[in-house]
Amino acid sequence: MDDFATLREEIIACRRCPRLVAYRERVAREKKKQFRAETYWGRPVPGFGDPRARLVVVGLAPAAHGSNRTGRVFTGDRSAAFLVAGLHAAGFANQPHSTARNDGLHYGDAYLTAALRCVPPDNRPLPREEANCLPFLARELRLLTEARSLLALGGIAWDALREAVPELYGVARPQEEFAHGRCVPLGPGRPMLWASYHPSPQNTNTGKLTARMFEDLLQQIRASWGRSSAGADRRTATRGDLAA
C-alpha cells in the first residue's frame, strides 16, 4: 500500500530525467555566491504540508537556489516569500516566511507540491520530463484524501492537474485553458480545480499578481467549502507536517 513515507523516498531517489539530474547537481556544486557556505539539497523535492489538507497547492518546480538549495518545496526564494505570506494571511500557515527546512513552518489544511520535482534549466521542462514526474503528483493526490481544492500556480501546473484528473477522479480531462481565478468543478465528491498566476518575481514585481489578488483567491477557495471551513484556522500548525 502506498504511503507518504514511501512516496517521499522514491521521489528523492529519482533519476529518470538525465538532463534534470545533471542540472540540479551542477547548480548544487557551483552554488550562488550568497549561499556559498551552504550545502545544497540538489535532489528531487517532495511535497510538504498537512496530510489531511483540503487545499493542495501545485507549483511548477523547485527554484535553482530556493527548493533545490533548501530541500523543501517553496522555501528560500522570492516566490516562496510571496506565496507563504499569502497562505499565512489566509490562515493556512503558522508564519509568513519560508526560509529553511528547520525554520518552524507548519501548514494547517494546506499541502504544497509541484508538477516537477527537479529544477529545470530556465524553468522550462521538456514534455517527457513533465510526463516522468506526473505519476508522483498523481500518487500524492491519491493520498490526500480530504482535498477539496487543487490550486495550480501557473500553466504547467494547471496542465499537469488536467492530465491527472481522468485517472484519479474518473472524469474527462478538463478542456478549460489556464486563466488566473479560473475554477473548474469536477463533480460531486471530487475536488475543484483552481488557477492562479505563479508567484514568481516576473509576475509579482510587475503587478500581474498582487498580494490582494492572491489573498482574494484563497478566500474564494475557502468560501467554496461552505460551513465546513469553520474552524480551519484552528487546524493551522496543529498537525504534524510531512517534512521535506
Q: List pLDDT tens digits, range 155-171.
A: 999 999 999 999 999 99
Distances (CA, A) of 30 to 13, 27, 102, 191, 207: 21, 5, 23, 41, 32
Q: Is the pLDDT of residue 154 over 80?
A: yes
HSE-up (13 A, CA, CB side) for residue 24: 30
Grid cell digits, residue 61: 518546480
Q: Is the pLDDT of residue 230 over 80?
A: no
Helical H segments across the chain, by residue range: 4-13, 18-30, 67-70, 78-89, 127-143, 155-169, 201-204, 211-224, 232-235
Model confidence band, residue 233 (pLDDT cutoffs 50, 70, 90): very low
DSSP string of 132-189, one letter each residue:
HHHHHHHHHHHH-TT--EEEEESHHHHHHHHHHHHHHHSSPPP-PPP-TT-EEE--TT
Q: Is the pLDDT of residue 234 over 80?
A: no
Dump pLDDT digits (tens) for 107-131.
Answer: 999 999 999 999 999 999 999 999 9
Q: Is the pLDDT of residue 238 over 90?
A: no
Model confidence band, residue 1 (pLDDT cutoffs 50, 70, 90): confident
Domains of the chain plus CATH, in order, are 4-235 (3.40.470.10)
Dump pLDDT digits (tens) for 53-87.
Answer: 999 999 999 999 999 999 999 999 999 999 999 99
More confident residue, 1 or 145: 145
Mean pLDDT over the full length of the chain: 94
Rounded Cα gap, residues 135 and 17, in angstroms: 14
The 3-state DSSP class for residue 79 equals helix
Question: What is the average per-residue pLDDT within 172-182?
Answer: 97
AA letter at 45? V
> pTM for the whole thing?
0.93
Grid cell digits, residue 203: 509576475
